[in-house]
Amino acid sequence: MASAVKESRPGYGQLLRTPGAWTFLLPGFLARQPFAMLTISIVLLVESTTGSYGTAGAVSAATGISMALFAPQCGKLADRFGQRAVLIPGVLVHAVGVSALIALALAHAPLWALFAVAIPTGASTPQVGPMVRARWAARLGGSPLMPTAAAFESVTDEFTFVVGPVLATALCTGVHPAAGLVAEAALTVAGGLLFATQKRSQPPVHRAGSGDKPRVSALSVPGVRVLIAAFLGIGAVFGGMQVSLTALTQHIGQPGINGVLYGIFAGGNMLAGIACGAIAWKIGPRRRLLTAYGLLALATTPLWAVTSVPLLGAVGLLVGLCIAPALITGYTLVDSLVPATARTEAFTWLTGSVALGQAAAATSAGQLADRFGPSTGFLVPLAGTALAFAVLLTLRARLVPHSSTVIASHGGAAEAPATGPEDRERAQQLAGS
């Protein structure tokens, strides 16, 4: 609980000493690795059996889109019935779906059959990352360590997306085309079931009953809808960078440098995430989000005009450094905007939004690169972040929690009004109006 935290300055050492944290961190890390292995493993398997990257990409996209669309429903069920009740059947259904997809691909089944299996496979992908974030929120409450926890989770996610694709590629190319999916399913079952057994750290279940307030959907909270738009823009950066870097390095005859450039981009993201968690912030999260997102949109501006590999690496590093502060602050805001009864659902909406933005951006960037040249694909991250930043600026007032939301979020019936930076900022706005 927040009362267990007594040091004035938040930090990773203090965060990791939170009682019970390691009981869900280690199994959670194992269970979230498959999330980064699934789509690339599908691409490598289906391409090897069909000889078509187009077919492989379509099947992979169907999996990713269904994952993004069904993730919030998984989060809503977890809030209502508990993470364990959702996770156990989910990992089993997912394992069956992956097994069927492997069998159909190796049997050279028609495309419609692959789609028919890919959709439930993506829909049943366990949302372990949002569940871990919900456990941190339940454990820390309104503690100053919440931004540190959000930063820690962002770094963990980024590390997962660095390790997962490399592991999947090595298995598919060095062992068997289906080995990546086999490992993904095995890790999902082992990690997911182990995570589900950690009942003590599971957030409390909020069932509707006599005397309870009506259940609030995370999507009904205006601030969550604004954050969804912001995270779509972040997803556009991930998807646009992946496709555009691949297209450009192939165009200049240096395809091997693609991994290095994307590693620099991802490394910048990880470094910024580590730094964000170590800083004791003096300004509120809404102002931090607006500042970070404005810098992100600005950093993506020169990408389309850069043709030099060293310069592209430098700009990519800058973009990566700007992503983590926006991503972390968005997750931090959820704790103050959303009641505890809808927290996991809110986190899955944001995670799904990144995945959806990534899928849409990858498709758009690929089409631009094919028609107008590889550099034009970099216009997608610029357009995505610029539009999302415009939404943030226009609707920024919705990111300030009402006092009733703050009380409901922390489960108190008679808490004193909050006096943090955002509350003072809101009071100044009201006074000015």
Q: Where are the domains of the chain?
A: 8-203, 217-425
Q: Which residues fall within 8 angstroms of residue 145, CB to CB, at 6 or more apart? A: 2, 5, 10, 14, 15, 18
- Name the residue type at position 115: F
CA nearest neighbour of 233 among 146, 297, 138, 310: 297
DSSP code for 376: G
DSSP H or E run through 7: none
Q: Which amino acid is at 426?
A: R
Tell me, which fold does domain 8-203 have in CATH?
Growth Hormone; Chain: A; (1.20.1250)
- Two structure tokens written together for 282: 């003096």
Q: What's the confidence (pLDDT) of residue 210?
A: 41
pLDDT of residue 196: 87
| Burial (Cβ within 10 Å: 0-12, 13-18, ≥19) of residue 300 | buried
Q: Token pair 């609030």 is at which residue?
A: 216
Q: Is the pTM of this model over 0.75?
A: no
CA distance 37 to 46: 14
For 280, the token pair is 């004791």
| Sole residue written with tokens 């089993």 | 92
Angle between helix axes 179-196 and 21-50 (nearest 10 degrees) is 160
* CA atoms of 374 and 372, how far apart (whole Å): 7
Domains 8-203 and 217-425 agree in fold: yes
Give the span between the Cα atoms of 97 and 122, in whole angstroms: 9
* Predicted local confidence at residue 53, as pLDDT: 63
- Residue pair 263/387 in contact (Cβ under 8 Å)? The answer is no
Query: CB-based contacts of 170: which residues, under 8 Å, 6+ apart?
Result: none
Residue 372 one-letter amino acid: F
pLDDT at 374: 80
Residue 102 has a pLDDT of 95
Where the chain has pLDDT below 50, the residues are: 1-8, 209-211, 403-433
User: Cα 129 to the chain's mean position, in Å?
Assistant: 8
Type of residue found at 140: L
CB atoms within 10 A of CB 204: 11
| Homologous superfamily, domain 217-425 | MFS general substrate transporter like domains (1.20.1250.20)
pLDDT of residue 6: 42
